[in-house]
Amino acid sequence: MFWSPTPVVFAALRRIRLTLSIGRLASPFANFATLAVLSSSMVVAAQQAQQVPPADQAPAAPAPTAAPAFPKPDPANFTAATPTRETVDAFLSASWGYDENRIWQTEAIIKTAVEGYNKVIVFVGDKTGKDKPFRFAFIALPDGKHMMYNEDIFPFGEHPYADLRAVMQERADGPYRGNAAKDLEIVEFADLQCPHCKAAQANMDQLATDFPHARIVFQNYPLPMHAEAHRAAAYGVCVAKAGGSNAFFTYASSVFDGQDGLNTPDGAQLTLNAAVTKAGQDPAKIATCAALPATNAEVDASVKLAKDSSINETPTLVINGRQVPANVPYQTLKQIIEFQMKLDGIQK
C-alpha cells in the first residue's frame, strides 16, 4: 500500500525541485525543505513519471476517494526512547500543518546500530483521498534538534525553526522593505544573475503588498557558476550604502529586468551602470566602492550566512527560521507564511 522512495523517484523529485528553485549547489536529492512544501500528489507524479507501464499492461486502479486507513502501528517497532511520538508529531505539525489536507502517522521509531541515531518512519497521506500515501523516513540525531534526511542535516524537534530564526534576526543585515521590527522576518537569499531569482520577484513584490508589516530582507548569495553575480552584488551593497534600501530595490529590479546583459563582461558593465543610474546614484562612485576589499567582504559575509544556515540554492526564503523555495506557487507561499505567523503568535 505504501511505497518507499527509490533513487529514481528522488531524481524525479530533484527535477521538480529545480523547476521550483534554482542554481543548485551540491546535493543529488531533494531536500526536506522542498519536500515539506510539495503535495503528495507531486511526489506520486514523480514516481509515475519514471515508471510508465507498457502499453499492453492493464490500466492502474483509480485513485482512492477516501482518506487512507493507515495500519495500526506495531509496538515492536518502537524500540528507541527518543524522539517520542509526541516530538515527531510536533515536528511534522510545524512542518506540514499549513496543509489542512495532509495527514500522517508515525509507524516506527527504531534504534540503529549507532547509539542515539534513531530511525523514524512516518506514513503520509491526503485526507481527501485524491493522493496516494507515501512513506517518509529519516534519522533523528542525538542532540534532539536535528535530523538527517538523505545526505543533509535539517532542524528537528518541537520548535524546529527557532534557532535559525534567531540567527537571521542577528545576522541578516541586507537592505529591507516593510517593517523595521523583526517579528515577521522574511529573508530572501538571491543571486542577481540567477534566472529563477528573477522569476521569483513577482512573488516577492506580492508578499510586500500582502504582508506590509513584514520585514523583507535581501541577502546576496552570488553563485560560482554566474560570472557577474559577485560584481552585481557588490554594486548593490554600495548602492544601498549610498541611497538606502529603496535605492537598492530599484537597482535590483533594474538588474533583474536587464539580466541577459550580465552574460558578457561589457554587457554587465552597461547593465550595472544603467541600474545604478536608475537608482539615483553615480556609476563611477559605485564602481569605486564595489572594488574595495571591504565591500567584497560584505558580500562574502552574506554568502557565509547562507552556507552557515545550510542554504544551498537560490532563491530561498527564510520565514521566521523556516526555509522555503521562493518561487513555489504564490498561494502556497502565502499559506505557509500565515501558518508560521500563527505558530509564532503574530497577529495579521
| Under 8 Å between Cβ of 336 and 319 | yes
Which residues have a Cβ under 8 Å from the Cβ of 188 and sit 6 or more positions away? 200, 204, 216, 217, 218, 219, 315, 316, 317, 326
Q: Tell me, what's the pLDDT at 130?
A: 81
| Under 8 Å between Cβ of 300 and 173 | no
CA–CA–CA angle 40, 190, 331 (5° rounding): 40
DSSP code per residue over 139-155? EE-TTSSEEEETTEEEE
Q: Tell me, what's the pLDDT at 347?
A: 86
**Would you call 111 helix, strand, or coil by DSSP?**
strand
Supply 169's cell numbers.
534576526
Task: For residue 147, give the amino acid letter.
Answer: M
| Under 8 Å between Cβ of 172 and 217 | yes
Distance CA 67, CA 65 (A): 7
If we measure between CA atoms, which residue out of 90, 80, 87, 95 comes closest to residue 31?
95
| Under 8 Å between Cβ of 92 and 103 | no
Reading the chain (348 residues) residue by residue, the pLDDT tens digits are 333 333 333 343 343 333 333 333 333 234 566 656 654 444 433 333 333 333 334 445 455 568 888 999 999 999 999 999 999 999 999 999 999 999 999 999 999 999 999 999 999 999 888 888 899 999 999 999 999 998 889 999 999 999 999 999 999 999 999 999 999 999 999 999 999 999 999 999 999 999 999 999 999 999 999 999 999 999 999 999 999 999 999 999 999 999 999 999 999 999 999 999 999 999 999 999 999 999 999 999 999 999 999 998 999 999 999 999 999 999 999 999 999 999 999 987
Q: Tell me, what's the pLDDT at 3?
A: 34
* Residue bearing cell 552584488: 233
Beta bridge partners of 78: 109
| Under 8 Å between Cβ of 194 and 203 | no
Domains of the chain: 7-160 (no CATH), 163-343 (3.40.30.10)
Q: Cα-flanking dihedrals φ and ψ of residue 105, to 5°?
A: -145, 130
DSSP class of 114: S
DSSP class of 70: P
* Residue bearing cell 543571486: 191
Q: Tell me, what's the pLDDT at 201?
A: 98
If we measure between CA atoms, which residue out of 340, 303, 296 comes closest to residue 318?
340
The DSSP H or E segment spanning 316 is strand 316-319
Respond yes or no on whether the N-terminal peptide bond of residue 325 is cis (omega within 30° of 0).
no
The DSSP H or E segment spanning 324 is strand 322-325
Which residues have a Cβ under 8 Å from the Cβ of 210 and sit 6 or more positions away? 334
